[in-house]
Structure 1
Amino acid sequence: MRKKSLFVISALALTISALMPPVTANAALPMAVNNQQIPSLAPMLEQVTPAVVSIAIEGKQVSKQQLPEAYRFFFGPNFPAEQVQERPFRGLGSGVIIDADKGYIVTNQHVINHADKILVQLYDGHEVTAKLIGSDKAADIALLQIQTPQKLTAIKLANSDKLRVGDFAIAIGNPFGLGQTVTSGIVSALGRSGLNLENIEDFIQTDAAINSGNSGGALINLNGELIGINTAILAPNKGNVGIGFAIPSNMVNNLTSQLIKFGRVQRGTLGIQGRELTPELAKTFGYNTNKGAFVNQVMPNSAAQKAGLKAGDIITQVNGSPIRSFSELRAKVATLGAGKTLTLQVMRNGKLQQFAVTLGTSENNIVKADELHTNLTGAQLTDVTVNGKPHGVEVNKITQGSLAARSGLRKGDIIIGLNRTPISNLNQLRKLLQHPPQVIALEIQRGNNVLYIIIR
């Protein structure tokens, strides 16, 4: 698994601590030692640890190097100008089973990035090859699926919006390939962003020990519920210094639901530009705290404008949950999904108001066709709806002279079938091209005509 930098390495580790008192009947239970009751996490962990798996990947790194013109003179004009090298690599990480019946496992996108083979080792030692359902690089989340006769255990997701600084947190993962390890600590901070780790940041910060190999592992509460997926550490000396970061469980739930349904994340947009709220700015606009998201501008014809938001508004809550910063608002909106309706609480002219907003569709929902098939390189694809219903995949942009253009595709074409199988959205097209046949016959709607384009 590659190291992430900020100083960063995504991963997770654990060493058990017996400092935590029992909180609920399902949490750290007392254990008798020499006829004395002492708190222990063992009873809860015995129920939860089978849901955390180890992940090993294999793949190839492709590097390209341009041959200097001086060398081409000696080797001749037919010698390739670009040298391509493939180097095999292996990586280790962690994952969490979130659906035992369907075999869904969530991990970090950087854990499985460029993997040709993904091997999952269950708690009992069994190894299973996993299939990638989908991933979101911006949020560093990936969803895998396994099929096995073994009985699986899943972790229940907690409501991460209810977390408080000081809540106990327990990390479980596979640090340094040692095998499953448990560490404990507390929630050190919430809504962390600006770390230059990912495009979408709303991290839980914890001092539970996290190390290389823990990426994709579980951060849980004392009830054994998932509160986050461990993804990174602040590591100036490449070691644990008690500052780790996890993706909140609510964000994980929103993203994995979209990956299951669509095979990709359909990013939602509010249509505003804003900034972090300072005490001076809050006071100027009649607000007595610096927690919230300040709206600089509302974009024309955006979801925000249609809902009635205005420049100068301060967004304080989303669906009843407090907003600490503009970065947190951006992360919540971006992961909720296009078309979702949410309720915003807004401070305007010193008074609180509520607005119902239906999120628009982000340009990030456009997919580069080479992600689906190399011979479609040069085209961009997006879902098409007619009267609110899916109606194929549109070629909304194509590069002149590209492989896709030479195959006969044009801007505005709508893919409605592949090898006589109807296509209504990108997810269906993606699944059919996961194991492409030797000949691909795309059924295209071009204006009022229907034609076939053959891709080999």
Structure 2
Amino acid sequence: MTRHVSKLLLLSLLAVLALLAVVFSPLFPAGGADAQDKVSPEEASSFFTPDKRVPQSRAELELSYAPLVKQVSPAVVNVYSKKVVRQSASPFANDPVFRQFFGTPRERVQNSLGSGVIVSDDGVIVTNSHVVKDADELLVVLSDRREYAAELILSDERTDLAVLRIDTEGEPLPTVNYADTRDTEVGDIVLAIGNPFGVGQTVTTGIISATARTDVGVSDYSFFLQTDAAVNPGNSGGALINTQAELVGVNTAIFSRSGGSNGIGFAIPAEMVQRVVDAAVNEGRIVRPWLGLKAQSVTYDIAKSQGLDRPVGVMVSEVFDDGPADKAGLSRGDLITEIDGREVFDENGLKFLAATRSPGERSELKVLRGGDSEIVKVTLAPPPGATKAELEVLDGRHPFSGAEVAELSPRLAEEMGRDPFASGILVTRILRGAYAWQIVRPGDLIVAINDTAIKTMDDLQTALDADTSAWAIEIDRNGRRISGTVRL
């Protein structure tokens, strides 16, 4: 009996061990302990690029950004701007007699704060244009608390970038190298360094949330990197860097209803930053190249008619005569899908990528025509025509006496943010007390006089020299046509 009981216990023990082996066998790969955590190269490449991967262990999760911050933070500075503002409640404050009895208006100093990035060891600093706008005095404070008066080399409101220079008497400064933002992808880790709310240099981290944001409306050349790294007032002009300690972009704006960070910040890509800095240092001004075309975004219906499986690219709607696009053979109806190897989805993106190059350089456009794709090489050039320097004040007995005007050329239109394909005479300014105030406003476009189209200054002068006491005038005001007859 005892022998049978012993056999029964032995069989029961063997059955339990077998059951345990079945339950726990999936936890131990057939290759043994050495095979655990191993992934075939084929499997790895299907999920990650060779240089980018998620943390693989607890130890990697505990890695620090401190060495990266120590390397870059000395090149991020604080920018203080001072502006003298006169305060007076009286409309007669500028009158000499009024000042004789009541004194000059009181003055106060208005201070604003932003950040900046040292991009050249001889003291060249880039920041936002809105940080230094209308400043009477600029002061740069380095991370080690050294202070320098700054000179404004260039302020470009259309990109919201400004370039400053400080004199360190030959002492080299720490700098940040530019990143190639063509390699920047959604999900890349980035750090924002700046001086939010004036509390002192602060570092926040996040990821690239989106690239090529063109509908933000912050500047004329809208093409922003979006990040969820906390960006607040005072961060403007500061650095957005990657994990290679390179400048990915310059922080410029946030989307917020409260004024604080909501996790949606925008940065100007490094390629545009580099273009503006180079132009400021080497030329003292920025001349933007243009393609000489108008384009519209591709809708689903347009994409379907072109044999595309998704909307991509822009459709050429107009080509400027004898402009770069015209000389390259582009025509209305061409579908541009890429510029210099980068996809475009709207005219702003096409315009931005072209503007990162210099006049005289060549861009390669991938164009779809009749279902066939081809590469068209375009030599970029500055827009033709008059500039702001060629303004003229009108005088004489006519409705526009006292108005400062210029022929609206593509170049002037680009400088002033107007449609470069529009034509007419642009009113830029009106002298105080001039008769023209009764007829036009700055920004108006004179398009016709006495049923004659006005496109050039010669056209305008001929119309104003006519022996008449009545002028039938047509103007364009913010896209709205206004017409009427003026008698003198």
Which TM-score applies when normalising by structure 1? 0.68
Distance 2:95 2:280 in 1: 49
Greater fraction helix: 2
Cα distance change on mapping 1:66 and 1:289 into 2, 3 Å:
farther
| Corresponding residue number in structure 2 for 1:211 | 232
Distance 2:139 2:267 in 1: 23
Query: Structure 2: 5+ residue runs without aligned partners?
Result: 1-49, 392-402, 408-425, 432-488
Deviations 1:130-174 (A, max 9, x none): 111112110001111111154411101011122111111110001
Deviations 1:83-137 (A, max 9, x none): 988653111000001111x211110010111111111111111011111111211
Cα distance change on mapping 1:364 and 1:246 into 2, 3 Å:
farther
Q: Does the 8 A contact of 1:255 with 1:336 survive in 2?
A: no
Aligned-residue sequence identity (percent) comes to: 39
* Higher mean C-alpha displacement, 341-350 vs 90-99: 341-350
Relative CO higher for 1 or 2, CA cutoff 8 Å, sep ≥ 6?
1
1:57 is paired with a residue whose SS is strand
1:236 aligns with 2:257: yes
Q: Which amino acid aligns with 1:161?
A: R
| Corresponding residue number in structure 2 for 1:361 | 382
How far residue 293 of structure 1 moved from its aligned partner, in angstroms, is 2.0
Distance 1:94 1:364 in 2: 37
Cα distance change on mapping 1:358 and 1:365 into 2, 3 Å:
farther
1:58 is paired with a residue whose SS is strand
| Corresponding residue number in structure 1 for 2:140 | 120
Distance 1:49 1:326 in 2: 36
Distance 1:43 1:221 in 2: 13
Q: Does the 8 A contact of 2:354 with 2:363 survive in 1?
A: no
**Residue 45 (structure 1) aligned to one of 49, 66, 69:** 69
How far residue 63 of structure 1 moved from its aligned partner, in angstroms, is 8.2
How far residue 270 of structure 1 moved from its aligned partner, in angstroms, is 0.7
Q: Does the 8 A contact of 2:221 with 2:351 survive in 1?
A: yes
Q: Does the 8 A contact of 1:143 with 1:259 survive in 2?
A: yes
Distance 1:39 1:226 in 2: 21
Distance 1:224 1:49 in 2: 10
| Corresponding residue number in structure 2 for 1:286 | 307
1:328 is paired with a residue whose SS is helix
| Corresponding residue number in structure 1 for 2:362 | 341
1:350 aligns with 2:371: yes
| Corresponding residue number in structure 2 for 1:140 | 160
Q: Does the 8 A contact of 1:220 with 1:228 survive in 2?
A: yes
| Displaced runs of 4 or more, over 3 A | 61-67, 75-80, 83-87, 367-370, 377-381, 397-402
1:130 aligns with 2:150: yes
1:153 aligns with 2:174: yes
Q: Does the 8 A contact of 1:56 with 1:91 survive in 2?
A: yes
Q: Does the 8 A contact of 1:202 with 1:328 survive in 2?
A: yes
Which TM-score applies when normalising by structure 2? 0.64
Distance 2:84 2:209 in 1: 38
Cα distance change on mapping 1:364 and 1:305 into 2, 3 Å:
closer
Deviations 1:203-254 (A, max 9, x none): 0000000000000000011111001000000011111100000000011111
How far residue 286 of structure 1 moved from its aligned partner, in angstroms, is 2.6
How far residue 367 of structure 1 moved from its aligned partner, in angstroms, is 3.8
CA RMSD of superposed structures (Å)? 3.6
Q: Which amino acid aligns with 1:342?
A: S
1:90 is paired with a residue whose SS is strand
Distance 2:186 2:98 in 1: 62
1:361 is paired with a residue whose SS is coil
| Corresponding residue number in structure 1 for 2:82 | 58
Larger radius of gyration: 2
Q: Does the 8 A contact of 2:178 with 2:248 survive in 1?
A: yes
Cα distance change on mapping 1:177 and 1:117 into 2, 3 Å:
same
| Corresponding residue number in structure 2 for 1:14 | none
**Residue 111 (structure 1) aligned to one of 101, 106, 131:** 131
Aligned pairs (5 A) from 1:171-190:
171-190=192-211
Distance 2:310 2:277 in 1: 34
| Corresponding residue number in structure 1 for 2:109 | 88
| Corresponding residue number in structure 2 for 1:264 | 285
1:198 is paired with a residue whose SS is coil
How far residue 378 of structure 1 moved from its aligned partner, in angstroms, is 6.5
Distance 2:58 2:147 in 1: 33
**Residue 120 (structure 2) aligned to one of 88, 95, 99:** 99
Q: Aligned residue pairs: how many?
A: 346
Q: Which amino acid aligns with 2:129?
A: Q
Greater fraction strand: 1
Cα distance change on mapping 1:97 and 1:364 into 2, 3 Å:
farther
Cα distance change on mapping 1:258 and 1:358 into 2, 3 Å:
same
How far residue 291 of structure 1 moved from its aligned partner, in angstroms, is 2.5
Query: Structure 1: 5+ residue runs without aligned partners?
Result: 1-22, 371-376, 382-396, 403-456
* Higher mean C-alpha displacement, 254-263 vs 333-342: 333-342
